[in-house]
Amino acid sequence: MGKNTSRWLAGFVIHILMWTGYPAFGQERPPSPPSEVKIPKEPGWNSPAYRGWELLSIPGLIATYYDLDLDGKLDYQVIRKIIRKGTSDKTTIKQAIESARIDNLTVYVSKPIIYFTSKYPLFYCLGVDFRRNCRNIWIDVQEDGLNGNETLYTLSIPKHMVR
């Protein structure tokens, strides 16, 4: 096995560990946050806090990253489910945005692929470390935006993991 392959595997395993709830590399399980910890509103792509997005190694999910306090380190991410995909040779970006608006979806473009996701995130994750693990994760099963029905997501109960 080549060195690069090992490194890739290690990265992949860390991602899996993050999602299955085992502490990665001796990291302590995050303490339950006090109930007064509020979920920050997603700043959006026009905000100076926006730091990009990526497909997660768990298929069907897209993470959007933010640096809320603008200190150069990520501290917040939200994760949306991919509903469908298109390509930019068949659909212009403008058409994609219009189609997303009609279907109440959000658009992520990585030419030539256009991803249509749920309008609102499924996961909200506050306190992102350098491995992009989260300190506090909330799940919003209804995916209806921040309206109080979000629940703290316990990493030790993977059955809540939604595909």
What SS3 state is found at 103? helix
> In the set 71, 89, 130, 156, which binds Ca ion (CB under 5 A)?
71
Structural contact between residues 90 and 107, judged by C-beta atoms closer than 8 angstroms = no
| Residues contacting Ca ion: total by CB under 5 A | 9
**Which span sits near Ca ion by CB under 5 A: 16-24, 72-80, 82-90, 125-133?**
72-80
**Which span sits near Ca ion by CB under 5 A: 33-41, 52-60, 124-132, 142-150?**
142-150
**Which span sits near Ca ion by CB under 5 A: 45-53, 82-90, 100-108, 148-156?**
148-156
Asked if 151 is part of the footprint of Ca ion (rule: CB under 5 A), the reply reads: no
What residues from 80 to 139 belong to the interface with Ca ion (CB under 5 A)?
Answer: none
Asked if 42 is part of the footprint of Ca ion (rule: CB under 5 A), the reply reads: no
Asked if 67 is part of the footprint of Ca ion (rule: CB under 5 A), the reply reads: yes
Asked if 75 is part of the footprint of Ca ion (rule: CB under 5 A), the reply reads: yes
Asked if 147 is part of the footprint of Ca ion (rule: CB under 5 A), the reply reads: yes
- Where on the chain is the footprint of Ca ion (CB under 5 A)? 67, 69, 71, 73, 75, 140, 144, 147, 149
